[in-house]
Amino acid sequence: MVPFIFLASSIFIPFNDNWHHIAENVLLDYFVNSLSLAIGVGFCTFIIGTTTAWLTSVYDFPFRKIISWLLLMPLAMPAYIIAITYVGIIDSTSFLPDIRNLFGAIIMISLVLYPYVYILARGAFLEQSKELHENSQILGASQFQIFLKVSIPMARPAIILGVTLAAMEALADFGTVEFLGVPTFTTGIFRTWFGMNDTVTATQMATLLLSIVFIFVFIEQQSRKKVRYSENIKTQSKLNYRITSKKNNFFIAVICIFPIAFGFIIPFLQLIYWSIFISNESWDSDFFSIVNDTLLLAFLASIIITIISLLITYIKRFSPKSITNKFMQIITLGYAIPGPVVAIAVLIPFAALDNYINQILVVKFNFSLGLIFSGTFFILIFAYCIRFLTVSSRTISSGLESISLATDDAAKSLGASTKNILIKIHFPMLKTSLLTSFLIVFIDVMKELPLTSILRPFNFNTLSVKAFELASDEKIADASNAAIMIVLAGIIPVILITKNILGKRNKV
Amino acid sequence: MNKKLIISDLSLDFGKDKNNRKILSNINFDLEESEIGCILGPSGCGKTSLLRAIAGFENIISGTILKDGVCISNSLENISVQNRKMGMVFQDYALFPNMDIKSNIAFGLKGMTKADKEARVNYLLKLVNLDKHKDKYPHELSGGEQQRVALIRALAPSPEIILLDEPFSNIDADIKEDLVTDVRVLLKELSITSIIVTHDQYEAFNIADKVAIMNNGKIEQIGNAYDIYHKPVNKFVADFIGLGVFVPIVKNENGIFETPLGLLDKNKFHKDEMKYKNLEMLLRPDDIIHNDESSTKAIVIEKQFRGAEFLYKLLYNDKYPLLCYAPSHHDHRIGESIGIELEIEHYVIFEK
C-alpha cells in the first residue's frame, strides 16, 4: 500500500521540464497508443473468443473435443515471445507485412489473450438453458440470430469480464510493445526513468496510467458481480445439443483451428526449428544456471505469495467486515497494475529507505550495509507479491469458499478444536487450490518480464529476461531455447485450468 | 427439578441491525429428559438462530440456558460449543467431503481405542442400515442416506441433547413420511432429548412430543399437536397451522351470539371472550359437515381432489367463504349448491 500512496503523492510534486517536454510531444502518442492497444485487443479477443466459444459449444464437428481444448493453448505463449517469433518469421520472408507497429502489437497480443474471452464465454454459453434455445428456434430464429440476440446478450457479463481482462493485460504489456517499437505508457515510463533518468516524471506518468487502469478495474469488478449473479440462476437443463451439418463441418473446424495455429502451433514450431538448426546458444552450463536461477526465484516467490494469500483468505473468512479485509481488497488489485508502474512504486521508497538507513549507520557507526532492500531479492519478491497476490488469493479463496461455514460448525459441535478443524478438514480440502495457486504464480513469475528486468539483483538473469535481451539484440533465433522453456512451463497451468473446468462440469 | 433443558427469557440480536431489531426476544421453553421438542415457524422467524444459540454458536444478550440445572449460556458467559455435549444435524448435513462415511462418523469420537471406535461406528451404521456404505464418500450417497449419516455422526459421541436443523428439508416428499417416523423411533429408542427446527407442520406433528410455534422472534404457543390445531391461542397460530376461515360473530337483540351460519352455544364460550364487541370465529374444514339433506346451502367455487376426499371451497350467502371436507364419492360440480351443517367441538374465538 505504501508504495502506491507514494506514487499518488507524486502528482503534488511540481512538473519539471521533462514533463512539459513529454506532455507536449509524446504524451498524447502514449495515451492514444495505450488506449488503442487496449481497445483493439478488447475488440479482437471479443471476435475470436466469442466466435470460437459459440462454434465449440453449439456445433458438432470433427475433433471438436480436442480443438476446444487446444483453443486454450495460446495462453501458454507470452505475448512478447509470440511477437519475437513472428518478427523472426517475417524478417526471413519478403512478402509478409511488417508487424512492428500498433496494428501488429494488437494482433500479437490478441492471439494469445483471446482464450480469456473464450473460456468465460464458453462457460456462459454452456450454462444457458436448452429450452431457451429450442424456444428461439420454434419462434423462427436462425442459428446466427440466436447467437446475436439470445446467447451473446445473456453471456454479456462473462464476455465483458473476459474482454476487460484482456484489455487490462494489453494496457499493462511491456515486452511486446517495447519489442515492436510501439511507444505506449509502459515503455514511456521505462524510457523516462532509465533513458532520461527522471524519476519524478516517470512517477507522474505511472500515476496517470494507474488512474486509467482503475477505470478498467472498475468495469471488471462490476461485471464480476453480474457474472456471479447470473450464475446463481439455476437453469433447468444445460445447453448440450449439437448441430451437425455435413456441409459446414469442415469449414467450422478450420475456423477454430486458425487461432490455435497462429497463436500456438506456428510460433512454437518456429521456436523449435530455431533451437535445433539455427541457434548459436547451446544447452550449456551457463544456460542451465539461468534455468536454475529462474526456477529458484519462481519457487521462492510462489511459496511466499501462496502463504500470504492463505492468510488473507482466512482473515476474509473469519472477519468478513473488518478493516483489514477492506485493506486486503485494495492490495489484491495488484494484478491490474502494469509491471513498470509496480517497479517504480516499490523501487523509489525502498531506495530512499536504504539511503536513510545507510546514512544513519555511517554517521553513527561509520559503516555501511549497502543495499538492503533495493537491488535484492527482497524487493523483487515484494513486487511479485503486489502483482500476483490477486491470482493466488482468488484461487485459494474459491477453494475455501467450497468449505461451507456449516462444515466448521459441524466439526465444532462434534468437539473439534480450531487447530483440528484446520488440520483435519481445511488442509485436505484446500490442498488442490494451494497447489494450483503455487503453480500459477510459479509460471507467472517465470514469464514475467518488466518487473524482473528492472528490479533483479545485479548479474541475476531469468529465462524471460535472457530471451528478451537476445531478441532485442537481433539474435532472435538464439532466444528460442529460453522461449521454449517458458512456453513448456506455461502449458502446465493451461492443463490445470482445463482440468478444473472439466472437473466442475462433471460434478454438476 | 428434573428438566433436561430450560431456556428462560432468552433474547438475541446480531448487533449490527440499524433498528436494533431483536432476532429473538423473551424465549421460554423447556424439555424433559428424552422428550422431543419441535420449534415450528415460517422461514425467517428466528428458529434456526434459537437452535444455534442453544448449540452455543450465537451469544445471547439476555436470559439463560440451563442444562441439567447448570447454566450453559447467559449474557456474560458461554460454555464453548465443544464443551456442551450437544450434537447437531445441519440443514445441508455438512458432511466432511474429504472423508469417507466411517471417518465422518468417527470424527467426534475421542478417548477411545481404535477398536472401540470401529465398534461404535459399526453399531451406528447398522442402526440406520448403512453398514454397506461405510467406505463410500458423502457425494456417493443419496440425500436420505446422507441425512442418516449426519444424524448418526451427531449421535456418535453420545451427546446429551441433539439438535436438528430442518433435517428433512432436502428429502423427497415420497420418502419423507417414512423417514420422519424412523427418526422418531430411533430418537425414542436411544431416549435422547432432541430439538427439531422445521417449517413443516406435518413433520412437527409427526415427530414431536411438544411443539413451540414461533413467529417474528417470539414463541406464540407451546403445546402438543392436538392443542395447537384445535386450541390456537391467537390468530397467527390459527392461520399458520392447518386450514381454516374466519366468520364474524354478532350478538343479536336477545343477547345471543350468532354467526351467519347459525346460533352459538353460550356455554362453550370463555368468560372473557364475551366481553369484547367484535368477535370472529375460526372454522376448520372439519367443523363443517357436508350433508345433502341440510337446509343450509352453500355454492361450490373451487374443489381439490385428495383421493379419499374432496376439499371444497364454498361460498355461503354470497359473501362468506368456507372450507369443507367431503368423502370423494360426493362429487359436486363447481357452481352447484350443496347442503352443509356446523359441528364444532371447541369454539376458537378471537377479537377482530
Per-residue model confidence as pLDDT tens digits over A143-188: 788 888 888 888 888 888 889 888 888 988 899 999 998 999 889 8
Q: Which of A403, A414, A433 to mutate to test the interface with B (most CBs of B within 10 A)?
A: A414
Q: Which pLDDT score, from 0 to 100, does residue A103 have?
A: 93
| Sequence letter at residue A432 | T
Q: How far is B139 from chain A (nearest CA, A)?
A: 10
Residue closest to A402 by CA, chosen among A424, A421, A426, A423: A426
Closest Cα partner for A172 from A11, A46, A34, A329?
A: A34
Residue-averaged pLDDT of chain A: 81
pLDDT at A328 over 70: no
Q: Tell me the β-bridge partners of B221.
A: B213
Contact A415 B82 (CB under 8 A): yes
Which chain A residues are within 8 Å of B91, Cβ to Cβ? 406
CA distance A213 to A334: 11
The answer to whether A411 and A427 are in contact (CB under 8 A) is no
B chain contacts of residue A413, beta-carbon cutoff 8 Å: 55, 81-82, 86-88, 154
- In angstroms, the separation between the Cα of residue B229 and the nearest Cα of chain A is 34
Please list every residue in chain B whose beta carbon sits closer than 8 Å to the beta carbon of residue A411: 96, 107
What's the rounded Cα separation, in Å, for the pair A184 and A31?
A: 7
Please report where in the chains the cell 510462489 appears, as a residue: A302
- Rounded to whole angstroms, the Cα distance separating A55 from B102 reads 46
Asked whether the beta carbons of residue A413 and residue B154 sit closer than 8 angstroms, the reply is yes
In this structure, what is the dihedral angle of CA atoms A80, A86, A89, A91, given to the nearest 10 degrees? Answer: -80
How far apart are alpha carbons A1 and A271 in whole angstroms? Answer: 40
User: Could you give the CA distance from residue B47 to residue B203 in angstroms, rounded to a whole number?
Assistant: 15
Q: Name every chain A residue with its beta carbon within 8 A of the beta carbon of B108.
A: 414-416
Of A407, A413, A415, the CB nearest to B55: A413
The phi, psi pair for B233, rounded to 5°, reads -85, -20
Task: Give the rounded distance of the alpha carbon of B50 from its chain centre.
Answer: 14
Residues B98-126 pLDDT 10s? 889 999 999 988 888 999 999 999 999 99
| Contact yes or no for A409 and B57 at CB 8 A | yes
CA distance A401 to A415: 22
**Nearest chain B Cα distance for residue A125, angstroms:** 27
Examine the pLDDT at B351 and tell me if it is beyond 60. Answer: yes
CB < 8 Å to A414, chain B: 87, 107-108, 153-154, 156-157
- Set of cell numbers at residue B151: 444424524
Average pLDDT over residues A116-132: 81
Q: How many CB pairs under 8 A join A and B?
A: 53
Shortest CA gap B132–chain A (Å): 24
Average pLDDT on B18-22 reads 64
A424 reaches B (C-beta below 8 A)? yes
State the nearest Cα–Cα gap between A327 and chain B, in angstroms. 21
Count: domains in chain A: 1
Per-residue pLDDT tens digits for A394-425: 778 878 877 888 888 899 888 888 888 888 88
Give the whole-angstrom CA distance, residue A412 versus residue B90.
12
Whether B87 contacts B163, CB under 8 Å: yes
Cβ A414–B87 below 8 Å, yes or no? yes
At A506 the pLDDT is 42
**In the block, which residue shows the cell 494469500?**
A309
User: Is the reported ipTM for this assembly greater than 0.85?
Assistant: no
Determine, for residues B57 and A412 on separate chains, whether the beta-carbon distance falls below 8 Å.
Answer: yes
- Count of other CB atoms within 10 angstroms of residue B100: 16
Of A406, A415, A417, the CB nearest to B157: A415
How far apart CA A123 and CA A164 sit, in angstroms, is 17
What Rg value do the Cα atoms of chain B yield, rounded? 25
In the prediction, which pLDDT does A321 show? Answer: 65
Q: Does A416 touch chain B (CB under 8 A)?
A: yes
Give the Cβ contact number of residue A284 at 10 Å: 8
In this predicted model, what pLDDT tens digit does every residue of B46-84 receive, in sequence order?
A: 899 999 999 988 888 889 999 998 999 988 888 888 888
pLDDT of residue A51: 93
**Length of chain B as a residue count:** 352
Containing structural domain, residue A17: 2-507
Q: Shortest CA distance to B208 belongs to which of B235, B234, B188?
A: B188
Number of Cβ within 10 Å of residue B18's Cβ equals 5
Whether the CB-CB separation of B27 and B218 falls below 8 Å is answered with yes
* Facing B82 at nearest CB: one of A410, A412, A428: A412
User: How distant is the alpha carbon of residue B219 from its chain centre?
Assistant: 12
Is residue A420 within 8 angstroms of chain B, CB to CB?
no
CB A468 within 8 A of CB A450: no
Separation between Cα atoms, residue A112 and residue A447, nearest integer Å: 13
CB-based contact B110 A415, cutoff 8 Å: yes
Residues 250-309 of chain A whose Cβ lies under 8 A from any Cβ of chain B: none
- Inspect the interface and report whether the beta carbons of B153 and A414 lie closer than 8 Å: yes
Residue B97 to residue A429, Cβ atoms within 8 A? yes
Residue owning grid cell 437453469: A235
Asked whether the beta carbons of residue A410 and residue B157 sit closer than 8 angstroms, the reply is no
Confidence band of B188 (pLDDT split at 50, 70, 90): very high
pLDDT score for A505: 44
Q: How far B108 CA sits from the closest chain A CA (Å)?
A: 5
Amino acid in the structure at residue B42? P
Q: What is the pLDDT of residues A19-61, one digit of tens each?
A: 677 666 778 888 899 999 999 999 999 999 999 998 888 888 8
How many Å from the N-terminal Cα to the C-terminal Cα in chain B?
40
Tell me how far apart the 2 most distant CA atoms of chain A are, in Å.
Answer: 87
CATH of the domain at A257: 1.10.3720.10
Nearest chain B residue (CA) to A321: B16
Extended strands (E) in A29-178:
none
Neighbours of B191 (CB within 10 A): 10
DSSP B335: T
Confidence label for A5 from pLDDT (cuts 50, 70 and 90): low
Percent of chain A scoring above 90 in pLDDT: 16
Interchain CB distance below 8 Å, B57 and A415: no
- Phi, psi for A395 (deg, rounded to 5): -60, -50
The shortest C-alpha distance from B79 to chain A (Å) reads 12
d(CA A414, nearest CA chain B) in Å: 5
B188-204 average pLDDT score: 93
Contact A414 B107 (CB under 8 A): yes
